[in-house]
Structure 1
């Protein structure tokens, strides 16, 4: 009989805890990956796209080290490929961003801190 292991995903980065998640337990600031990995070019999503995770975090393509393009798929994720100007800055629980593509039921109410710090 084979034991079933439930993949527990981090609420912040969506990586499997113990297999890629580098977020600290207290949730302050994610640690940088210990191995320097060159950033991969994202091909399916323009740079301004707002990606919306199942945990209601907004991300930007290529802006954080804990998210890869391969993870961003419907129905788990939603996205806004051409967001209105200023939507990223207004995004909050009082002003959620609703996906226009992928899983259009997804809403983001907070920004990934690593993506936010990568903004110019």
Structure 2
């Protein structure tokens, strides 16, 4: 039997409990989604803001720009990342133009951007 995983954090989804996203996050089962206008970016210790993080579900994130994962969640081998992405890589990222991790788990490829990160970056 295949385990269902969250599109945002890559964690297991437990029936009735949701995923492993932090409580109150936009992807957790009991969450009330936070309005983009009230979002406050969280500064991360381990990854600079320009880093592109790549989840096990092939979703690209930016550190601190979404609240459905924490810094402690982003660990190899489950996650990969691109510490110094070339200019414009985030904007070009798609299934037609995937991004491959250069650190963490280099087998990770992102084929889409996290919509929460994207919306908050646009407001930011």
- TM-score in terms of structure 2 length: 0.74
Offset of residue 14 of structure 1: 2.8
CA distance in structure 2 between the aligned counterparts of 1:64 and 1:111, rounded to whole angstroms: 11
C-alpha deviation, 1:32, in angstroms: 2.7
| Higher helix proportion | 2
6, 23, 26: which is aligned to 2:27?
23
Instruction: Give 1 or 2 for the bigger CA radius of gyration.
Output: 1
Match for residue 111 of structure 1? 113
CA RMSD of aligned residues (A): 3.0
Please state whether the residue corresponding to 1:44 is helix, strand or coil: coil
Partner in structure 2 of residue 3 of structure 1: none
- For residues 75 and 104 of structure 1, the distance between their equivalents in structure 2, rounded to whole angstroms, comes to 9
Change (3 A) 1:90 1:39: closer
Cα distance in 1 for partners of 2:4, 2:95 equals 25
Superposition map of 1:40-119 within 5 A = 40-119=42-121
Q: CA deviation at 1:31?
A: 2.2
Are 2:8 and 1:12 equivalent residues in the alignment?
yes
Aligned length in residues:
109
SS in 1 for 2:81: strand
